[in-house]
Amino acid sequence: MLQPPPPFQLRALDLFDLPAVSIIEKQAFPTPTKEKSYQYELTENKLAHYQALIYERDEQAEQLLGYAGYWLIADEVHISTIAVDPQWRGHGLGELLLLNMLFLTYEHDASLVTLEVRENNLTAQSLYRKNRFEVVGRRRRYYRDTGEDAILMTVLLQSNTAYRQFLEHKRETLFAQLAGAQF
Ligand SMILES: CC(C)(COP(=O)(O)OP(=O)(O)OC[C@H]1O[C@@H](n2cnc3c(N)ncnc32)[C@H](O)[C@@H]1OP(=O)(O)O)[C@@H](O)C(=O)NCCC(=O)NCCS
């Protein structure tokens, strides 16, 4: 797990985070994932790995700013979600959650990261492209709520030392930016 500068902290998402997750879900997605599904992910799904991004005011008071998760399937990391509290967007925290998953991918020794993103979600597509994900396909009308297509994006990590250097540079830049900002 990456260790961003204080007051930010990354740790495993826990059951007690789920009420705060539900609040962000409702603001982040057209069809929010239900708390029950997250309970299943955290307690039953052995492939699932979820992380929480916390603002730690002091040891007693934590605030959930965002979360992300993926399924580890053989040597593939499939990103299942990433979301930041709307009041905290635009400060690099989505990128922090994504970078953390990419570094965890190396720890799992996985070689490929995949995800689906809504065709109209240009913000998320921009975040992924910025981190060198490439479009590899499209699933027609994949999202039943809006009828949108899913864009499939991937990045290859195996024996890709240039990409690892790229990520390390990003991490340093982002940590310096977060450490220097007033929150
Ligand atoms: C996608 C999301 C996680 C980004 O979080 P964030 O903390 O605002 O993102 P960051 O501040 O780290 O920005 C990283 C990059 O995302 C893209 N981005 C962020 N906000 C953007 C905006 N309003 N318009 C276009 N691109 C944007 C940019 O590429 C940005 O890099 P830049 O600042 O160098 O331009 C956030 O918008 C969110 O929670 N959205 C709702 C949930 C969602 O759509 N998740 C993705 C599912 S596939």
List, run by run, the mean pLDDT of 10-residue segments along the chain (183 residues): 97 98 98 98 98 90 96 97 98 98 96 97 98 98 97 90 95 96 85
2 CA from centroid of ligand 1 (Å): 19
Query: What residues act catalytically?
Result: 116, 128
Query: What is the 3-state secondary structure of 97-152?
Result: HHHHHHHHHHHCCCCEEEEEEECCCHHHHHHHHHCCCEEEEEECCCCCCCCCCEEE
Q: What is the pLDDT of residue 21?
A: 98
63 CA from centroid of ligand 1 (Å): 20
Q: What is the pLDDT of residue 182?
A: 84
- In this structure, the residues whose C-beta lies within 6 A of any atom of ligand 1 are 28, 82-84, 89-95, 117, 121-124, 126-127, 130
Distance of alpha carbon 64 from alpha carbon 67, whole angstroms: 8
Q: How many CB atoms lie within 10 A of CB 155?
A: 20
Residue with CA closest to ligand 1 atom 39? 83
Q: What is the pLDDT of residue 47?
A: 98
Picking from 114, 183, 125, 103, the residue whose alpha carbon sits closest to that of residue 155 is: 114
Q: What is the pLDDT of residue 89?
A: 98
Q: What is the pLDDT of residue 80?
A: 98
Q: At what angle do helices 161-180 and 93-107 cross, to 10 degrees?
A: 140
The model's pTM is 0.98
φ/ψ of 41, rounded to 5, equals -60, -45
Q: What is the pLDDT of residue 87?
A: 97
